[in-house]
């Protein structure tokens, strides 16, 4: 299922923008970063998620997904932390390749197209991921409407939500074997001048409200990702207690969290025992 094509059929320029061989990383630093990432958990009410989606899809434009709308809002908050000028910031989105490869049809007979079998990835575990990202000037992000920022998110994510993107990624990895490769948005190749970056994933399909280990359903489910890098990480998941609400795990710089709790306080609410009905 994950075999490369022979010969490879890819646009290497596209993948070179998103991924790099491990040897491109600068030597690791032996000391702790001056501004470590901090973990916090918030919740977002369903009505606020719907409101963000409405603002991202206004004026007769295409309806953007809730995750794209959420990512656009977060990108604008991120820009508010930076000074105007030449400063830029990156926003990445994790794309799941399992469902893009799930309905692939492969021929087992190179001489005939009639002998084919359909595969499903539903019975497999493990990640098949790509992380496209966008980079934008801080002052431009501040002045743009949420709808325009959501359009930017859509534009850099949409090329990666296809089967061909993941088939090409498999080919690209094959071309660089045996050297490991990594998603470029996670790396700071120039520690002084590289843009700040955040990656948004999604746990929306995780069935928090249906889990039961024998002592009842959970009141709360979240995520923890203290991975040690300097790229922020955000994971929204469905709430186990409020229909349509999100639980949002954040592993960000202090300045980004401060902006979440000031400019974004109408959307992001700190998780409390009362919210969990304790």
How many C-beta atoms surround the C-beta of residue 237 within 10 A? 21
H or E stretch at 80: helix 66-80
**pLDDT score of 184:** 92
In sequence order, what DSSP letters do the residues of 145-167 get, joined into one string? -HHHHHHHHHHHHGGGSSHHHHH
186-195 residues labelled b (16+ CB within 10 A) or e (exposed): bbbeeeeeeb
> Does 189 have pLDDT greater than 80?
no
**pLDDT score of 46:** 95
In sequence order, what DSSP letters do the residues of 11-67 get, joined into one string? -HHHHHHHEEEGGGSPPPPSS--SS--EEEEEEE-HHHHHHHHHHHT-TTPPPPPHH
pLDDT, tens digit (0-9, with 9 covering 90-100), for 105-123? 443 333 334 444 445 566 6
Domain residue limits, the chain: 36-102+119-270
Q: Please say whether the dihedral angle defined by the alpha carbons of residues 176, 202, 151 and 74, taken in this order, is positive or negative.
A: negative
**pLDDT score of 109:** 35
Q: Can you read off the two tokens belonging to residue 217?
A: 């359903």
Instruction: Name the residue with tokens 């809730």.
Output: 66
**Percent of the chain at pLDDT above 90?**
52
Q: Which CATH architecture has domain 36-102+119-270?
A: 2-Layer Sandwich (3.30)
The pTM of the full predicted model, rounded to 2 decimals, is 0.88
Tell me the sheet residues that pair with 148. none
On whether the CB atoms of residues 150 and 64 are closer than 8 A, the answer is yes
Q: Can you read off the two tokens belonging to residue 163?
A: 């089967």
**pLDDT score of 132:** 96
Q: Which of 18, 149, 37 is nearest to 95 (CA)?
A: 18
**pLDDT score of 197:** 93
H or E stretch at 197: strand 196-200
Query: Where is mean pLDDT largest: 24-28, 65-69, 213-217?
Result: 65-69
Q: Please say whether the dihedral angle defined by the alpha carbons of residues 139, 86, 198 and 12, taken in this order, is positive or negative.
A: positive
Q: Kindly tell me the burial class for residue 135, based on how many C-beta atoms sit within 10 Å of its own C-beta (0-12, 13-18, 19 or more).
A: middle
More confident residue, 199 or 219: 199
> Does 61 have pLDDT greater than 90?
no
**pLDDT score of 112:** 39
On whether the CB atoms of residues 202 and 67 are closer than 8 A, the answer is yes
Q: How far apart are the C-alpha atoms of 168 and 2, rounded to whole Å?
A: 11
Q: How far apart are the C-alpha atoms of 231 and 260, rounded to whole Å?
A: 16
């Amino acid at each position: 299922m994950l075999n490369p094509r022979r010969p490879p059929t890819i646009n290497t320029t596209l993948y070179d923008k998103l991924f790099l061989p491990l040897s491109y990383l600068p030597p690791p630093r032996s000391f702790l970063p001056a501004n470590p990432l901090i973990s916090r958990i918030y919740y977002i009410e369903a009505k606020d998620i719907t409101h963000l989606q409405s603002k991202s899809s206004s004026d007769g434009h295409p309806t953007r997904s809730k995750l794209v709308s959420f990512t656009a809002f977060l990108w604008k908050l991120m820009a508010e932390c930076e000074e105007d000028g030449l400063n830029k910031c990156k926003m990445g989105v994790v794309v799941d390749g399992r469902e893009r490869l799930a309905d692939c049809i492969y021929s087992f007979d190179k001489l005939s197209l009639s002998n084919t079998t359909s595969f499903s990835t539903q019975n497999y575990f493990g990640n098949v991921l790509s992380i496209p990202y966008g980079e934008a000037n801080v002052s431009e992000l501040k002045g743009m409407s949420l709808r325009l920022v959501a359009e930017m998110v859509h534009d850099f994510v949409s090329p990666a939500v296809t089967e061909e993107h993941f088939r090409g990624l498999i080919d690209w990895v094959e071309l660089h074997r045996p050297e490991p490769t990594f998603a470029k948005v996670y790396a700071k190749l120039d520690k002084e001048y590289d843009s700040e970056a955040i990656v948004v994933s999604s746990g929306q399909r995780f069935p928090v409200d249906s889990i039961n280990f024998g002592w009842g359903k959970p009141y709360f489910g979240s995520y923890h990702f203290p991975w040690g890098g300097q790229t922020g990480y955000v994971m929204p998941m469905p709430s186990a207690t409020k229909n349509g609400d999100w639980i949002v795990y954040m592993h960000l710089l202090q300045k980004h969290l401060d902006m979440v709790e000031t400019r974004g306080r109408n959307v992001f609410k700190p998780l409390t025992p009362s919210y969990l009905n304790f």
